[in-house]
Structures are given as C-alpha cells and as structure tokens.
Amino acid sequence: MEKAQVVAPVASGQEAPSQRSFAHRWFTFPAAICFLLFLVVFFHGTTGKITEPDFWWHLRNADHLLTTHSFPNFDQYSFTAAGARWIDHEWLSELCYYAAFQSSGLRGVFGLFSVLSAAIFAGLYYRCRMEGANPKTASIVILLGILAASVSFGPRALLFGWLALTILLIVLERFASTRSAPLWIIPPLFCLWINLHGSWIFGVAVLGAFIVSGMLQGEWGAVSAVRFSAGELKRLFAVAGAAVAALFLNPFGYRLVAYPFDLMFRQQTNLNHIDEWQSVDFHELRGKIALLMLLAIMASMVASRRRWKLHEVLLGAFALYASLTYWRMQFFAAIIFVPLIATRLRLFPDYDPRKEKPLLNAAIILGVMGMILAQFPSEAKLHAQIQQNYPEAALAFMRERHISDRVFDEYTWGGYMIWHAPEIKTFIDGRADLFVYSGVFDDYVQIIRLNGTLDLLNRYRIRHALLGRNTPLAYLLGHTACWQEIYSDKIAAVYERNLAVAGCGAEP
C-alpha cells in the first residue's frame, strides 16, 4: 500500500520554496548584507595591507621550489645563519601567492588575500545566520570583528589557516545541531591545513572541544551539554584519528607536526619581541577595539537568556586567553566570538522574508560588485605603497656600489631584500625561528636597543648598515666616528664603516 505524501503547509502570504522566483531565492536581504560586508573587507584591505614584510621571502621560497624542484631545507638567504637547517612550513600557501603574483603582479596578490578575507567573513556571516542571528545584528558584530582582525590582514599564509578553521567550525556546528554534516571533509582539510599554515593546532583544539562537550550531559547554570550517541561519538573519534594521521602527510614528516610546539617552547625571543606576539595594551587603539569586543561579550551574556553550549564556553575561554595574551590571536577571537555575540543580541526586529525587495537587493549586490571592480587598485598604486615602506632606492644605490657583504638590516626589510636584492645576504629577516636558534635574534635586539651595539657590529664584522631613516641606531651611527652616512632618503639611510679612522676596523 502506497504511503500518503505529506506536504507541509505554506504560511499565509509566504510562497513555498519551489514556487519562489529566481530573484526571491538569490537577491535576498541577507545576501545584500553579505555583499556590503565584502565591500568593507575590500576597502579595509586597500589601506596599505599589501606591505606585509614576510611576503617577499615567501615568494623567494616558492620560486626556489619551482625552479629547483626541492624545498629550501637550509638557510641560503642570510650570512648570519648560512647553512643552518630550516623547514619551509608554509610552502603550499607560498605557492598560491606566487601563482597570483606571477599571473597578475601585485594586483593578483591583492585579489587573492581579498578573496581569502572575504571568504572568512562570509563564513562568519553564514555561521551567524545558521544559528538564527538577525542579518543586521550579525553585520554590526562582524564589523567589530573586522576591526579586531585587522592585525592579520594582508598577503599572509595565516589567512589560509583561518579559512580552514572557519570551514571546520561550520561542519562541526552543523553536526552538533543536526547530527548530520559532511565530517569526511575534516581529514583532507587537516592535510591541506598543515601544509598551508601552523594554525592547524587551533583546529585540533576546536575538534577536541566538540568531542569533550559531546561526551557530557547536563546543565550547569547557564551552560548545558547534550551527549552524542555512541555511534555519533564513534564517528567523531574516527574522524579525529584520521585528521591527526593526515597531519603527517607533508614533505617534512613529524618535524612539521612538531613546529607549533617548537614555537611555543623554544622561540621565546621571537614571542617576546615581535609586536604581534605581545599582550593586549588597552591604551592603544587596537586595545580599545579588543575592549569593545569584551564589552559586547558581556552585553550579550546579560541581554540574552539563550543558554551556552559547553563547546562554546570551552572555545570562548580559549579564544579569550589567546587573544588577550597575543595580538596575533585577535582574528581567532573574532572567528569564535562573532557568532556567539550576534546570536544573543536583539538590536533589530526579527528578519521577515515576506518583506523582501529583490530588485533593491539586486541593485545593492550589483552595485557592490561594480564598486569593487571600479576601485580595484592599480599596479602603480600598490607599488607606491611598497615604495613608502621599503628601501627600494637605497637597495638600488647599494647595487650600484656593489655593496653586498656583511650588511646589517632592519628585521622588517630582510624579506624584501631576499626577493629584490638576493645578492645582498641579510643579517636577519622574517624567518624568526632560524635566527632564534642561532642566537642572532637576541643579538639583533641588543643592537637596535643600543646595548653594546658597536661591539656587536664589530663581532659580526658588519661593513654596512641599511637602516630606517629616523631610528635610534641610525642616529648612533650618524654620530659615531667609525661610521659615516653614504646615502639617505625619506625611507632609509645607508651607513659605511669608516676604515680611514684608526681603530675602526671590524674584528677578524
């Protein structure tokens, strides 16, 4: 006997999904809001974000890989750590940026990191909507998230990592809500992730939080947990095991898996002295943005009666600790907290799909696309940003004078030198781990802090120094008899050891 087909009734004044027109399905108000967010991300990325200092040595690594068909397993770019063992732990991200650069120059690079950034925030917006957040409320909270995450905007391998984290959260949150999600995506995602960026360790923490939460049942004040069934837990454990195994599918084996732990426990000089690894300073503008995020979290807790899932509490506590301890983790905090805040605040009336204006929404979407195409920066404009931040003219002068040996350089300029002037071996560059291991990073910090500077320059037999125009070290060398300025412009100055003065020769 045939089963009778049951058709769900359609609410009065509302069309069934199959009866809705193309415009009503695609040109919706939530879609228009999403495109407006794309516009904010796009213009936020045009404000000098192309000048990421590590980008240049990433390009050189990719060029080396494609030219020699081998990974750069030891240092070839500096004279202070020459020949030291090293692993290229972001090689797959480097190939992506290199492909964009080779195809379309700086415009291609800008386009790639803009698409990555937009995809991350589109994922955030989707998670907000998936949990029932009002589109307007979600957009306001995401704007706060964009400001908090600005520390990591630019052509960075880290963006691939945060995109992978966003995908992982979408899959796991859907599984926690519906017990149905494509968990099979997770192992290959981790396989890609470890070759893209070391932030895969956050993915392990997220996966662990969902598993722990799914093993418990109960209510603790405003926090609750619903236990997964035995079959569901078995699936999660199997996926987690496969994901961990997938981490070892990389060119460097266990060494790449161990790298995040190496960073945490062996690279303290790196963590202590690089700006984005510093703790939050609430006196700075960035700190005030972080404070706004904290206030939004507290406001959402007070204003909403919505219970907190255990995995939300675990991830929220981890994100709060990480983001207040390290500036770099503000992006991670935004990824975790934006949906939690947006789903708990009621700033506007509920979204009513019956009030859609598809023509207006289409005009907004097409207008955003047109504006992005019209305002997409030219190669000349992007190159001008580079010229304002890097010593292009000073390096041209050094090449003319055949200055290439024993050059002291600024940390943030080393990568630029590796790509634009590879014949000049760097003293230091953005591969901080390499210089931490060799002790060069500690010496660099002492030199720029004017602590035993001249003795250290002698010890390394430095002959020339490429420095920022108004740095303390430039002032010191400019007022020291053993050094003389031989070039300067608005960005940089080049100093040369004055061998004509008695006693000014470097130590052998």
Non-local (6+) Cβ contacts of 295 within 8 A are none
Q: Are 462 and 365 in contact (CB under 8 A)?
A: no
Over range 3-30, report the average pLDDT: 56
Task: Decide if 141 contacts 338 (C-beta within 8 A).
Answer: yes
Burial of residue 337 (CB within 10 Å: 0-12, 13-18, 19+) is buried
Contacts of 318 by beta carbon, 8 Å cutoff, 6+ apart: 205, 209, 336
Most distant CA pair in the chain: distance in Å? 108
Separation of alpha carbons 186 and 174, rounded Å: 13
Reported as a single tens digit per residue, the pLDDT across 272-330 is: 777 776 777 777 777 777 777 778 777 777 777 888 899 999 999 999 898 888 888 88
d(CA 494, CA 386): 19
Give the start-to-end residue ranges of the domains of the chain: 20-51+87-367, 390-497
pLDDT for 339? 93
Model confidence band, residue 22 (pLDDT cutoffs 50, 70, 90): low
Nearest to 149 by CA among 314, 297, 289: 289
Give residue-wise pLDDT tens across range 232-272.
Answer: 999 999 999 999 999 999 999 999 999 888 877 777 776 67
- Mean pLDDT along residues 41-64: 89
Each residue of 387-442: pLDDT tens digit? 999 999 999 999 999 999 999 999 999 999 999 999 999 999 999 889 998 899 99
Q: Residue 52, SS3?
A: coil
| Average pLDDT value for residue range 433-454 | 93
Q: What is the pLDDT of residues 188-197, one digit of tens each?
A: 999 999 999 9
pLDDT of 488 > 50? The answer is: yes
